């Protein structure tokens, strides 16, 4: 079996879904399990619906729900126009989803309160709706397709908006469902991103989590490969939205791909690699809009070349220094700072420490300090001198053995004017620099030229 995951842009409209059908048709011999995201921008729309409901803006909620309905109904009508009986079945299934969603959202609107569990339930509808439409579109195009509910297979903890799966339970459920409920099907379709907790309530795997779902299905079924179909020609030397002349990376190791994701490259969800690596399943990153392109293979380390592979950036971070007047030991100092941040759910992007100093970077969500971070800094200030540097960015070069690549530090300083912190990633797979945000673009372009355009 193979897993084929199609992201939001790959299923955004009639034309894109037409391409998905022909890509899947070309792989039927390999018994694909198709994993779909919500249509592009639908998860965002559902988040807005949840927020407006919490704010008790009844009129706005109605307007957004109507947009959601309109987009899906029109798409189904267009895709299934030639098969009225399939169209009416799809409409019935969608109507059921819309009516449950409307009832639930109007409840949230009445009480003006939104728990993570309620939010997960609302935003899970994007994948449920897209998979219904695409499942019927396969059938309408002569490909027998069975629809499976990912919520009955992927079982997670109760951290509803960023849930972590129970791998053993998930594996057993996926195997059973695929063996028992897909008889006679050429293709199986299910949803990315969505799951349910052991208590039986809908959960989601965190934003962009459909890649992770695909890897989980791949692991459970011992798939021969996981294909991630997206809107770029494979994993590239930098995000093509930031630089014009990036190059495709042919092969990258599991470890390097995980490091890229951890350092901010959005192309794969950071947790995607682990389940695939566990069973040594290659991941292919492919462009659903350019079938000619062979994409990128993510594979075992010994099959991928050595050297710098890619540059990733995190555009908005705070750089924080914590200095203690006493020498209290590296471990102790780091532990105190990270425990305080973890207690308020603030993720640490990078950290370095000495006996009397800790440097950390944390994501900057808003322009001002958020309440949680403000509290942490106040509590740290009771025993240490704390300084927050705003408007910083992080730039990371990723690749096995890239530490032997000379001149990265000097080049970064000369391009950015100032480096606040340098950090080496796990297993020396990356080197990261904290710089001023207004120097990020020039530094990125300069480093990209220096590393990848030298002949």
Residues in contact with ligand ASP by the rule CB under 6 A: 7-8, 37-38, 43, 126, 192-193, 207-210
d(CA 134, CA 288): 15
Q: Please choose which of ligand ASP, Mg ion, ligand ADP, none residue 219 contacts, taking the beta carbon within 5 to 8 angstroms, the exact cut-off set by kind.
A: none
Q: How many binding residues for Mg ion (CB under 5 A)?
A: 2
| Residue 207 contact, options ligand ADP, ligand ASP, Mg ion, none, Cβ 5-8 Å cut-off depending on partner type | ligand ASP
Residue position matching structure tokens 């408007």: 391
Alpha carbon of residue 239 to chain centroid: 15
Between CA 40 and CA 22 the distance in angstroms is 20
Closest to ligand ADP by CB, 89 vs 231, is: 231
Q: What Cα–Cα distance (Å) separates residue 362 from each residue in 200, 315, 366, 370, 394?
A: 34, 11, 12, 11, 10
Q: Does 235 bind ligand ADP (CB under 6 A)?
A: yes
Residue 9 binds which entry of ligand ADP, Mg ion, ligand ASP, none, CB below 5-8 Å type-dependent: ligand ADP
In the complex with ligand ADP, the residue whose CB is nearer, 10 or 253, is: 10
d(CA 301, CA 280) in angstroms, rounded, equals 11
Q: Which does 447 bind (CB under 5 to 8 A by kind): ligand ASP, Mg ion, ligand ADP, none?
A: none
Residue 227 engages Mg ion in binding (rule: CB under 5 A): no
Chain centroid to CA 287: 17
Establish if 310 lies at the interface with ligand ADP (CB under 6 A).
yes
Sequence-separated (6 or more) residues with CB below 8 Å from residue 80: 86, 87, 90, 136, 137, 140
125 binds, among Mg ion, ligand ADP, ligand ASP, none (CB under 5 to 8 A by kind): none
Least separation, in Å, of the C-beta of 247 and ligand ADP?
Answer: 10
List the one residue from 230, 299, 394, 416 that touches ligand ADP (CB under 6 A): 230
Q: How far apart are CA 443 and CA 283, in angstroms?
A: 31
Q: Which residue is nearest to ligand ADP (CB)?
A: 7
As a whole number of angstroms, the distance between CA 264 and CA 241 comes to 13
Asked whether 263 and 347 are in contact (CB, 8 A), the reply is no
Which H or E run contains 11?
none
Judged by CB under 6 A, the chain residues 240 through 269 that form the site for ligand ADP are 240-241, 265-267
Taking the least distance from each CB to ligand ASP, the nearer of 53 and 267 is: 267
Q: Which residues bind Mg ion (CB under 5 A)?
A: 7, 208
Binding site for ligand ADP (CB under 6 A): 7-10, 37, 208, 230-232, 235-236, 238-241, 265-267, 310
């Amino acid at each position: 079996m193979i897993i084929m995951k199609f992201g939001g842009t790959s299923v955004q409209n009639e034309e894109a879904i037409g391409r998905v059908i022909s890509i899947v048709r070309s792989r039927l011999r390999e018994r694909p399990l198709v994993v779909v995201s919500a249509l592009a921008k639908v998860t965002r729309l559902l988040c807005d619906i949840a927020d407006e409901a919490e704010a008790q803006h009844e009129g706005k909620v109605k307007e957004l729900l109507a947009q959601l309905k309109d987009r899906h109904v029109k798409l189904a009508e267009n895709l299934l126009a030639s098969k009225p009986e399939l169209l009416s079945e799809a409409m019935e299934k969608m109507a059921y989803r819309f009516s449950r969603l409307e009832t639930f959202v109007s409840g949230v609107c009445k009480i003006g309160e939104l728990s993570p569990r309620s939010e997960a339930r609302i935003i899970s509808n994007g994948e449920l709706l897209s998979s219904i439409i695409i499942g019927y579109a396969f059938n309408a195009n002569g490909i027998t397709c069975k629809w499976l509910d990912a919520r009955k297979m992927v079982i997670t903890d109760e951290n509803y908006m960023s849930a972590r799966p129970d791998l053993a339970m998930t594996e057993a459920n996926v195997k059973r469902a695929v063996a028992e409920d897909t008889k006679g099907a050429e293709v199986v379709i299910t949803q990315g991103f969505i799951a349910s907790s052991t208590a039986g309530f809908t959960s989601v795997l965190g934003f962009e989590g459909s890649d992770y779902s695909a890897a989980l299905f791949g692991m459970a079924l011992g798939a021969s490969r996981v294909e991630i179909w997206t809107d770029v020609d494979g994993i590239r030397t930098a995000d093509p939205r930031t630089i014009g002349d990036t190059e495709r990376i042919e092969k990258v190791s599991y470890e390097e791909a995980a490091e890229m994701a951890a350092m901010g490259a959005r192309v794969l969800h950071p947790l995607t690699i682990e389940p695939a690596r566990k069973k040594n399943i290659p991941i292919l990153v492919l462009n659903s809009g350019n079938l000619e392109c062979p994409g990128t293979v993510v594979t075992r380390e010994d099959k991928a070349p050595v050297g710098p592979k890619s540059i990733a950036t995190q555009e908005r971070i705070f750089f924080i220094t914590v200095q203690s007047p006493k020498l209290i030991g590296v471990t102790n100092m780091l532990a105190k700072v990270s425990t305080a941040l973890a207690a308020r759910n603030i993720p640490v992007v990078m950290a370095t420490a000495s006996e009397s100093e800790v440097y950390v970077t944390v994501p900057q969500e808003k322009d001002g300090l958020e309440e949680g971070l403000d509290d942490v800094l106040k509590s740290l200030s009771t025993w240490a001198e704390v300084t927050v540097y705003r408007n910083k960015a992080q730039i990371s070069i990723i690749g096995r053995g890239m530490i032997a690549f000379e001149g990265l530090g000097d080049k970064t300083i000369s391009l950015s004017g100032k480096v606040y912190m340098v950090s080496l990633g796990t297993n020396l797979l990356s080197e990261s620099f904290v710089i001023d945000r207004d120097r990020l673009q020039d530094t990125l372009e300069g480093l990209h030229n220096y590393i990848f355009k030298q002949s």
